[in-house]
Chains A and B, each alone.
Chain A
């Protein structure tokens, strides 16, 4: 191989278009997705848990029941969509960032000319793709087997709301990823994710839970996103839409500020 290396400079420079910002973002997102797709530990729980839970509670048990004017399967379509995007975003960011940061890989990337935002944007794109697959899966299950009658335009609105809203969980996952050790991150996410889903009324309608929990739910980001999603499928949600949007925005800002501190703690400041 030594004979080859002398020629390393000459004739080696190719592809003058590379290095442009757009190309970096695209390449980063593509490989982030491929990398994640090959990790069964992420893909299987992320996609199957919400679908299986929805099939059991929404379709099999709740087929004919109604809540207000809406059938239970439709109600749970909105809340399980929220549950699903929360799982995909939280695990994607928290575990991904904790591993890559904790094991020194993030440092290698940050010593390169990669724009730091490309790293985060790629994770957000990856998470969005998984969210979309999941929401479509829930819709298919609901309409085929659960007696859900939701027009396609309404469904697209629902998908748009939960996917856009998932940014709050991306930010939350980023905070966990910045502050936890690589091997602790999955456990930390589970400890937060499962109780929070229950308390925010994602598994069972909030009306069936004790009054204390109904009030406490106001403090949970998934509660606000679920209310927006429920409103979209025709269920009369509590509180005005703008209040939920404002709450989600506030949570997102707080999480991003905390994440920024976490990155600073590692003594690598973000630069444009």
Chain B
């Protein structure tokens, strides 16, 4: 039982990170139909900012906002430079563009920084652990869960009650009509990218604080997982992305913890098998996007 609770905390921490990443993908996808595979490189950028801050002796409390600012600015720049020119292109054009952006950034990291994994200096507090209800929980895990919850509550409030957030939901549902109301296309899309940059930045801080290192390909795996999570939840649905992220986190952690040792090497296929099984019964994901459903009718 103790082990189960302990693993549940781990699953919440990992699932929360996937949820933030999947949400970042979903925010952009819901508005412009782009699956941004360069989302992971936003994470990597935030990771490198943390690394350089550590080298320069900048306190972690200042390094985190700097890292978040960097990923937000990088996301906005990415939209302005790479995606705006292909905005009216097909989904495939935008997808290939995002792969190109991801690869260019990876090559830049490899050539300008290092091909190898670099250590990131973290405050000692993060590797401490605390005792809650008889469980020993790492501060980094606890911080991940708290940060995820705070960010999700903030986003929910922003999308429901802030004029800009409501405008983003309106644009996600019917872009042309939203523009007719005077909602500027550029503002909404740049806003979506800024939001996805913030989410990638927070995810990067959480990711790095579990591993204390950063490498040029750091963002690739988590974003691939987040993409799976977004599909699992229902592509384009924000709530679905969060649900899918958590579910994927739970599947991975529980399989790693409870699968017999001789089956551990089949962990990933089994995990993805569960995902496929869920999609067989709910082809549009756990919480399908209302807009996509409407288009099919």
Asked if A and B bind, the verdict is: no
Which B residues are within 8 Å of any A CB, using their own CB? none
Which A residues are within 8 Å of any B CB, using their own CB? none
